[in-house]
């Protein structure tokens, strides 16, 4: 089966920075039409400047925690490209949490940031994919790819909120996969460890020993490149993974195979 996504239309959330931006640019390089969505309008403008009708790259700025914003994002995508074939939920936030503080709102914050927008957007996009596929019997109606984390399986007190939100995203992936299978929509996720994103580059400059710690807790002894995540997302979005749904693909260099208490913090 082909990994081609040429001619497909993809919505990429978290598209102004880091891994979401890398995936979106990779998809565009592979011939896809891409709608980059993010609440950071300034960064979107910095990355893409002015776009025009007919351009394969467009962007949408808004807070996807708001239901109306999600509806407007889908409308903007349909107006620009007439269809949507791929959704990559790449927007996410990481923050520390205090597991013994009942006033710590980190769990609520990360559920509202990392889970609920992905769920609501997936639901809305799936309805559009189903409508597009009416009367068509060949092939799949669409593919949804969620970006998760190995933190969903690992335990570290300061990452409890992020771990809970990631685990919930994994279960959402599996549940939607079953719910949408009869509609020929596949739902999968990529759970990753350390990736050389812009935020990690900044952290490595600030903490020079951090890289050595990460590599020491990764059996393959290195940090993944953003392109490796983008390639994995393309695989899950394409016909090459046509018999895969409800799967959490782990891209972590073997890190989650080690003692979870020791590696979760790195």
Per cent of the chain over pLDDT 70 is: 93
d(C-alpha 5, C-alpha 74), whole Å: 19
* Range with the poorest average pLDDT among 41-45, 129-133, 170-174, 258-262: 258-262
Contact 262, 156 (CB under 8 A): no
Predicted pLDDT of residue 208: 73
Per cent of the chain over pLDDT 90 is: 70
Instruction: Please give the domain boundaries of the chain with CATH numbers for all domains.
Output: 9-263 (3.40.50.720)
- Which residues share a beta bridge with 86? 10, 143
* Range with the poorest average pLDDT among 74-83, 116-125, 142-151, 219-228: 219-228
Residue 81: is its pLDDT beyond 70? Answer: yes
Q: What is the mean pLDDT of residues 239-259?
A: 91
- Which residues share a beta bridge with 61? 38
pLDDT in tens, 200-214: 666 667 777 778 888
Residue 99: is its pLDDT beyond 80? Answer: yes
Residue 261: is its pLDDT beyond 60? Answer: no
Q: What is the mean pLDDT of residues 218-222?
A: 87
d(C-alpha 213, C-alpha 5), whole Å: 37
pTM for the complete prediction?
Answer: 0.92
**Mean per-residue pLDDT over the chain, rounded:** 91
Instruction: Assign 140 a pLDDT band (cuts: 50, 70, 90).
Output: confident
């Amino acid at each position: 089966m082909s990994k081609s996504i040429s001619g497909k239309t993809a919505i990429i959330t978290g598209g102004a920075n880091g891994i979401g931006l890398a995936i979106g640019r990779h998809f565009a390089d592979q011939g896809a039409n891409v709608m980059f969505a993010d609440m950071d309008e300034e960064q979107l403008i910095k990355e893409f400047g002015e776009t025009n009708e007919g351009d394969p790259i467009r962007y949408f700025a808004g807070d996807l925690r708001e239901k109306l914003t999600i509806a407007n994002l889908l409308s903007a995508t349909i107006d620009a490209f007439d269809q949507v074939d791929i959704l990559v939920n790449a927007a996410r936030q990481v923050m520390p949490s205090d597991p013994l503080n009942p006033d710590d709102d980190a769990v609520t914050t990360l559920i509202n940031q990392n889970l609920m927008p992905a769920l609501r957007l997936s639901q809305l996009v799936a309805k559009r994919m189903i409508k597009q596929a009416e009367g068509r019997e060949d092939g799949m109606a669409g593919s949804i790819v969620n970006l998760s984390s190995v933190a969903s399986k690992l335990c570290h007190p300061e990452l409890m909120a992020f771990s809970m939100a990631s685990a919930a995203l994994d279960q959402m992936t599996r549940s939607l996969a079953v719910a949408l299978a009869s509609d020929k929509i596949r739902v999968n996720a990529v759970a990753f460890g350390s990736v050389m994103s812009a935020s990690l580059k900044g952290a490595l400059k600030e903490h020079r020993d951090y890289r050595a710690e990460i590599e020491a807790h990764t059996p393959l002894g290195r940090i993944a490149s953003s392109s490796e995540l983008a390639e994995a997302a393309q695989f899950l979005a394409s016909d090459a993974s046509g018999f895969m749904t409800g799967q959490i693909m782990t891209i972590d260099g073997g890190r989650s195979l080690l003692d979870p208490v020791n590696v979760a913090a790195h």
